[in-house]
Amino acid sequence: MDPQQEIRNFIEKLLRKKGDLGPFDDAESLILGGRLESIDAVEIVMFLENRFGLNFAEIGFDQISIDSINLIHGLVRSHDSGETAKP
Amino acid sequence: MQQPLSLPATTKKGRKFRLIPKFEDDPRIVSFAQTVVGKLVLLAIFGLVLSTMDEGWKMKLAFLSAMAFLPQLRWLLVLACTLVLTSFFSLDQGFLNSIARAESVQLNQLKLAALVLLPFVLACAAFMLLAALRPKGLFARRPLPWLLGIFFGLLLIACYAPLHGSARLVAWALVFVFSSYFWFLAYAISDCVAVGKANLLHQFATFRAFWGSTAVPIPKGTSHWRRIEAKTPEDLAVTMIKGVKLMVWCLLLSYVNHYYAIVVQQKLAIPNLEQCLNAFTGGKPFPMVVNWASLLGDFLEGLLWFAVWGHIVIATCRMAGFRALRNTYAPLSSRTVAEYWNRYYYYFKELLVDMFFYPTFVRYFKRSPKLRIFFATFAAASVGNVIFHFMRDIHNVLKWGLPRSIVGFQIYVFYSLILALGISISQVRARKPHASRGWLHQRIAAPAVVFSFYCLVHVFDSTGLGGLGSRLHFLLYLFSGR
Candidates B362, B427, B430; nearest CB to A57 = B362
Q: Do B362 and A64 touch (CB under 8 A)?
A: no
Candidates A19, A22, A39; nearest CB to B8 = A22
d(CA B228, CA A34): 12
Q: Do B1 and A18 touch (CB under 8 A)?
A: yes
Q: Do B342 and A24 touch (CB under 8 A)?
A: no
Mutate to test the interface with A, among B242, B358, B366, B429 (most CBs of A within 10 A): B358
Helix pair B273-281, B288-319: axis angle to 10 deg: 140
Q: Do A34 and B358 touch (CB under 8 A)?
A: no
Higher local confidence (pLDDT), B382 or A59:
B382
d(CA B297, CA B318): 31
Q: Do B358 and A23 touch (CB under 8 A)?
A: no
Mutate to test the interface with B, among A42, A50, A55, A59 (most CBs of B within 10 A): A42
Candidates B7, B362, B430; nearest CB to A61 = B362
Q: Do B349 and A32 touch (CB under 8 A)?
A: no
Q: A23 CB near a chain B CB, below 8 Å? A: yes
Buried b (16+ CB within 10 A) or exposed e, B434-464: eeeeeeeeeeeebbeebbebbbebbbbbbbe
Q: Do A61 and B363 touch (CB under 8 A)?
A: no
**Cα four-point dihedral sign B447, B453, B458, B459:** positive
pLDDT for residue B92: 73
Candidates B7, B194, B342; nearest CB to A86 = B194
Q: How many CB atoms lie within 10 A of CB A80?
A: 12
pLDDT for residue A20: 85
Q: Which of B480, B411, B473, B413 lies closest to B277, judged by CA?
A: B473
pLDDT at residue A83 greater than cutoff 80: no
Q: Do A34 and B1 touch (CB under 8 A)?
A: yes
Indicate the SS3 state at residue B229: strand
Q: Do B7 and A49 touch (CB under 8 A)?
A: no
Indicate the SS3 state at residue B322: strand
pLDDT for residue B255: 96
For residue B219, cis peptide bond before it (omega within 30 degrees of 0): yes
Sequence-distant (6+) residues with CB within 8 A of B264 are: B270, B297, B301
In chain A, whose CA is at the least distance from the CA of B338? Answer: A39
Residues B214 and B185 sit within 8 Å (Cβ to Cβ) = no
In chain B, whose CA is at the least distance from the CA of A67? Answer: B227
Taking the CA of residue A86 and the nearest CA in chain B, the distance in Å comes to 6
Q: Which of B119, B102, B122 lies closest to B168, judged by CA?
A: B102
Q: Do A61 and B223 touch (CB under 8 A)?
A: no
* Range A12-32 average pLDDT: 88
Residues B221 and B188 sit within 8 Å (Cβ to Cβ) = yes
The overall average pLDDT reported for chain A is 86
By CB neighbour count within 10 A (0-12 exposed, 13-18 middle, 19+ buried), where does B392 fall?
Answer: middle
Q: A28 CB near a chain B CB, below 8 Å? A: yes
Q: Do A62 and B354 touch (CB under 8 A)?
A: yes
Query: Band of the pLDDT at A48, cuts 50, 70, 90?
Result: very high
Candidates B10, B190, B369; nearest CB to A20 = B10
d(CA B4, CA B24): 13
d(CA B362, CA B376): 9
pLDDT for residue B88: 64
Q: A27 CB near a chain B CB, below 8 Å? A: no
Query: Band of the pLDDT at A19, cuts 50, 70, 90?
Result: confident
Task: Give B366's contacts in chain A (Cβ within 8 Å).
Answer: 49
Q: Do B7 and A28 touch (CB under 8 A)?
A: yes
Task: Give A41's contacts in chain B (Cβ within 8 Å).
Answer: 358
- Interface predicted TM-score (ipTM) of this complex, two decimals: 0.86
A–B: how many Cβ contacts below 8 A?
Answer: 85
pLDDT for residue B12: 43
Q: How many helices (H) and strands (E) does chain A have?
A: 4, 0
Residues B100 and B169 sit within 8 Å (Cβ to Cβ) = yes
pLDDT for residue B437: 72
One digit per residue, the tens of pLDDT, for chain B of length 482 reads: 455 443 333 444 445 678 888 999 999 999 999 999 999 999 999 999 999 999 999 999 999 999 999 999 999 999 999 999 886 676 777 888 888 888 888 878 888 888 999 999 999 999 999 999 998 899 998 999 999 999 999 999 999 999 999 899 999 999 999 999 999 999 999 999 888 787 899 999 999 999 988 899 999 999 899 989 999 999 999 999 999 999 999 999 999 999 999 999 899 999 999 999 999 999 999 999 999 999 999 999 999 999 999 999 999 999 999 999 999 999 999 999 999 999 999 999 999 999 999 999 999 999 898 999 999 999 999 999 999 999 999 999 999 999 999 998 999 999 999 999 999 999 888 776 666 678 888 889 999 999 999 999 999 998 877 789 999 999 999 998 87
Query: Band of the pLDDT at A86, cuts 50, 70, 90?
Result: very low
In chain B, whose CA is at the least distance from the CA of A47? Answer: B369
**Cα four-point dihedral sign B117, B121, B126, B127:** positive
d(CA B394, CA B418): 23
Residues B227 and A29 sit within 8 Å (Cβ to Cβ) = yes
Binding-site residues on chain B for chain A (CB distance < 8 A): 1-11, 141, 190, 193-196, 223-224, 227-228, 325, 338, 342, 349-350, 353-354, 357-359, 361-363, 366, 369, 373, 427, 430-431, 433
Q: Do B1 and A49 touch (CB under 8 A)?
A: no
Q: Do B4 and A28 touch (CB under 8 A)?
A: no
In chain A, whose CA is at the least distance from the CA of B428? Answer: A39
pLDDT for residue B4: 44
Task: Give B352's contacts in chain A (Cβ within 8 Å).
Answer: none
Q: A83 CB near a chain B CB, below 8 Å? A: no
Q: Do A33 and B342 touch (CB under 8 A)?
A: no
Helix pair B57-69, B36-51: axis angle to 10 deg: 160
Residues B143 and B189 sit within 8 Å (Cβ to Cβ) = yes
pLDDT for residue B106: 84
d(CA B425, CA B444): 20
pLDDT for residue B435: 61
pLDDT for residue A44: 94
Query: What length is written for chain B?
Result: 482
